[in-house]
Amino acid sequence: MDAPGAGGRYLRIPDAATRSDLHAFLTRAARLDAAALVRLVRRGEAVAVWTTTAGFDTLAGRTFRVEIGPGDISVGAEPLAAEIRSAGGGNGPSGADEVAGGAVTVDPGLPMDTAWRGSLPPADGFEHVDDVPARDLVALSVQGAQVARENSTMTGPPRSLLDQTVLEVDGGGHRVAVPLRSVFALTAMGFVPQAVQDPATGAVDVDRVPADEPVRVRATRTWVRLDARYGSVALRVGGEIPLMVT
C-alpha cells in the first residue's frame, strides 16, 4: 500500500462505523482542548488511541480496529478529525484515498511525537478491583460540576477540588481512591452511554443512564483506570501506590 503521509505515515480505517467512532473520540478531545494531542499505539491487531484531557491531568483512551504505519504516531486531535471528516465524504483531500469495502487511508498529519509528554498506561498488569454503577459516577460528575461552577476561578476549577476523592473502591483486599478529575474526564469524553448533556440547558439526566451499566475499576501500583463502555480514563499516581492493602 502506498502510504499517503510524509515518511510513509498512514492511518487506515476499515469501515464507516469505525470512522464515526474515531471521529467522535477526536472531536470530544478537541472540544476539551483545541490543541489536544493524540497518540496512536499498536496493541496487537488493534490500535490504542490516547489523548490528554485539558485541566483534568488524566489520559483518555479507546481501542480501535485500525491500522497505522510505519510506527506509533502522535498528532493533533482536531487536524486528524478534519482529515477523517473529509475522507468520509468519499471526496477526500489528496492525502485521503477511498479503498474497497468503504475503508479509507488518510495522512495522519504533522508529526508531533516530540510534543507528547509523559508515559502511557501499560497494556497489561492491571488488577480488577471492582465494578461500580456508571449511573453513580455520572451523578458524582453532575454534583462535582455544580461545586466547580460555584468555586471556579479564571483558570477553571481549583486543583484541590479536582484532587478530592469522590469514591473509594474495595476489592480483592485492595482499596482504590478515585478523584473527581477522573470522573470528570470519563463523562466529558462521552464514555458512558446516555450520559449526554441537554444542548439547551447543559444538564445531564442521570436517570437515562442504564441502571445496570457498569464501570470497571482497575489499577496497577502507579495507575488507576476506569473502563466504561466507550472508552477508558487513566490517572498516574506519582510515586505513590494507589493500591492499599487492607
Contact predicate 213/165, CB 8 Å: no
CA torsion angle for 21, 24, 29, 32 (degrees, to 10)? -150
Q: Same domain for 145 and 175?
A: yes
**At 111, which CATH number?**
3.10.150.10
| Model pLDDT, residue 6 | 64
In a domain, 68, yes or no: yes
Q: Same domain for 144 and 68?
A: no
* Chain centroid to CA 90: 27
> Would you write out the chain's pLDDT as a tens digit for each of its 246 residues?
544 666 789 999 999 999 999 999 999 999 999 999 999 999 999 999 999 887 788 999 999 999 999 999 999 999 999 999 988 643 333 345 554 457 999 999 999 999 998 899 999 999 999 999 999 999 999 888 888 877 766 666 777 888 899 999 988 667 899 999 999 999 999 999 988 766 655 678 899 999 999 999 999 888 999 999 999 999 998 644 344 433
Q: Same domain for 202 and 233?
A: yes
Q: For residue 53, what are the contacts with CB-CB under 8 A and spacing of at least 6?
A: 29, 32, 33, 59, 60, 185, 188, 189, 233
| Model pLDDT, residue 110 | 93
Q: Same domain for 89 and 190?
A: no
Distance of alpha carbon 178 from alpha carbon 61, whole angstroms: 17
Q: Which domain holds residue 34?
A: 6-115
| Model pLDDT, residue 200 | 55
CA nearest neighbour of 218 among 119, 121, 118, 120: 121
| Model pLDDT, residue 165 | 93
Can you give the pTM of this predicted structure? 0.86
CA nearest neighbour of 103 among 116, 117, 92: 92
Residue 114 burial (CB < 10 Å; 0-12/13-18/19+)? exposed
Q: Among 70, 93, 115, where does a domain finish?
A: 115
Pairing of strands 46-53, 37-43: antiparallel
Q: Same domain for 131 and 241?
A: yes
Q: Same domain for 94 and 138?
A: no
Q: Same domain for 88 and 157?
A: no
Angle between helices 180-188 and 134-151 (to 10 degrees): 110
**At 197, which CATH number?**
3.10.150
In a domain, 76, yes or no: yes
CA nearest neighbour of 25 among 58, 72, 64: 64
Q: Same domain for 155 and 110?
A: no
Q: Same domain for 111 and 131?
A: no
Give the chain's domain count: 2
In a domain, 120, yes or no: no
Residue 47 burial (CB < 10 Å; 0-12/13-18/19+)? buried
Q: Same domain for 56 and 97?
A: yes
